[in-house]
Structure 1
Amino acid sequence: MIVLDGGMSRELIALGAPFEQPEWSALSLIEAPHFVRQVHDRFVAAGADVITTNAYALVPFHLGEERFRRDGRRLADLAGRLTREAADAAGHKVHVAASVPPLFGSYEPDKFDPAGARELWPDVIDPQAPHADLFLAETISCIDESLTALELCAKHGKPVWLSCTLDDAVPVLRSGETIGDWLTQVNAHPKAAAVEAVLFNCSQPEVMETAVRQAAGLAGNRDIGVYANAFIQKTDETAANEGISDIRRELTPDLYADFARAWKAAGAGIIGGCCGIGAEHIARLKAVL
């Protein structure tokens, strides 16, 4: 069992780090990167086997076009270096996952632009490569987005993990495309051999077990992973990170671990947490899984 870290943003807020819109978690990286390192250290201490770079907000959606073009590559390199330093300082083996985030807003499949992604994503992906053990294309909302991310990440010769976000009511991608169609197209891609794991993230815990069972028949020898969020279920169609969403207070570390046991029984071999899942949740996962 591989245990991932949890969500960066809420941990930054809890530490009192700079955090506001539009920069989101990137503001701490810009103004006070020592807070980012502290969050990585907290997850390492909790027992995470993989920690993810704080690159999720290093996109024009958060930084703005001008600052992204001016500072994006430098900030992506910094995000990678901070994570690598935390991993190397750990008392146990810790791998670094380079976050490959949605460029045009989370939960926004209709806004995905393959040509724009091929132009912009390398400024996030390439500077992280020297620091990373693998690439984690996360919160993917549609099939085209996952295939484009695979194409760009595979160029570096490192394992690629593809992670889709699901509709909170039924286990389909936010685009409405099915898990079966997604994995069929991933398997047919020329770079399919680079995909080491397929995951589901930033969705309600309740939808994940069915998703894992659906993926099991098409994942082949790849690992299947889950890192759910703690959001109160969204009832509108706004992007997930346009504001700070409310958190389910009842989703304690013990309750989250109960969900994780079911995911493991369904076939998940990689489990962690997304938005609102903190270091205490990860410590509980490490203890029970």
Structure 2
Amino acid sequence: MMQEDIVILDGGMSRELERLGAPFRQPEWSALALIETPEIVERVHAEFIDAGAEVITTNNYAVVPFHIGEERFAAEGGRLIELSGRLARSAADRKTGTRVAGSIPPVFGSYLPQDFDPAHAPALLGKIVSGLARHVDLWLIETTSSIEEMKAAAKATSAAPKPLWVSYTLEDGHADSQIPTLRSGEPVRAAVEAAVASGAEAVLFNCSAPEVMEAAVKVAVAAVPEGVRIGVYANAFAKPADEIPANDGVDEIRHDLDPAAYAAWARRWKALGATLIGGCCGIGCGHIAALRRTLKPADQSS
């Protein structure tokens, strides 16, 4: 694989927002910074770009009723989603070639495939797509726990066609398993095939432990047709994500995933065929800089 095929993604927003002084608490999570300190949101995007990210993701992940409540979402959701797109675009436009991924999050909460509501999903997803469409270069359906959830999100993006990336979150309670599954229990191969059938140009895995990513990448590489990219952006949670109560405080981060350790995992994903690599919760600007140095060393002079 040629080095230039690798694309560096950004990392997790929330703790970087906190580091720079933005308000950070549950249940609003990263949405609180959009509400109270939007200038810090743009600054975090800029710092990820400076660290080496070539694709940054809009900060609207928590702009859903699950995090900000039904009333606030109805009254302010559209404005906040549009603001997240505008801030990311402004930061990206400072460096030629930087792309903005429009986040399509799980609208009924992370890691909760059983709570997906197909009757109410289209309206929520449609609001996200319409708010972001004019600011983003591609759609990133992320932290997707089930095929049904992915399909609904993919359908919503058809209202504003752009390149589509789909990122699934994996069951990570058994890191030694060689048969990777989504948090719904569905096999990764079926999920990858469903994403490709829905028009995905890339299939990624995110917000799961680094230890479970290799098996998923192997399955994905074998399942996708030529031209479909594979990607990884793992989290740094100390406990499996599905053991962490939703909207219940700030979660502990592992101490064994410093930038060098995370870059070592990334080298393994690259060797297996992943070409889109970044980080999720707990993976900050220092980690992204290490990815850039490790995976694209020839770019350091650019």
* 2:186 is equivalent to residue 177 of structure 1: yes
Q: In the alignment, which of 150, 163, 168 is matched to residue 146 of structure 1? A: 150
**Moved beyond 6 Å, runs of 4+:** none
Q: SS of the residue aligned with 1:173?
A: coil
Please tell me whether the aligned partners of residues 108 and 239 of structure 1 are also in contact (alpha carbons under 8 angstroms).
no
Whole-angstrom CA distance in 2 between matches of 1:237 and 1:5: 25
Structure 1 equivalent of residue 29 of structure 2: 24
User: In the alignment, which residue of structure 2 is the partner of 1:51?
Assistant: 56
Q: TM-score normalised to the size of structure 1?
A: 0.95
Match of 2:98 among 83, 94, 97: 94
The answer as to 2:223 corresponding to 1:218 is yes
Q: CA deviation at 1:233?
A: 2.3
Question: Cα distance 1:247–1:206, how it changes in 2: closer, same or farther (>3 A)?
Answer: same
User: Distance in 1 between the 2:84 and 2:153 partners?
Assistant: 19
Distance in 2 (alpha carbons) for counterparts of 1:212 and 1:8: 24
In the other structure, the counterpart of 1:113 is: 117
Aligned partners of 2:248, 2:166: CA distance in 1, in Å? 23
Label 1:138 to 1:217 Cα distance change in 2 as closer, same or farther (>3 A).
Answer: same
Q: What is residue 285 of structure 1 aligned with on the other side?
A: 291
Could you say which residue in structure 1 is the equivalent of 2:282? 276
Structure 2 runs not aligned, ≥5 long: 1-5, 296-302
> Deviation at 1:73?
0.6
Question: Which of these residues, 68, 76, 82, is aligned with residue 71 of structure 1?
Answer: 76
Question: Residue 225 of structure 1: CA displacement?
Answer: 0.4
Which residue, out of 187, 201, 206, partners 1:201? 206
Which sections of structure 1, spanning at least 5 residues, go unmatched?
Answer: none
Give 1:240 deviation, angstroms: 4.9
Q: Does 1:162 align with 2:166?
A: yes
SS at match of 1:114: coil
1:238 deviates by: 4.6
Q: Check 1:288–1:197 CA distance in 2 against 1; reply closer, same or farther (3 A cut).
A: same
Report the alpha carbon displacement of residue 234 of structure 1 after superposing the two structures with TM. 2.6
Residues matched between the structures, number: 284
Answer yes or no: is the 8 Å Cα contact 2:208–2:240 preserved in 1.
no
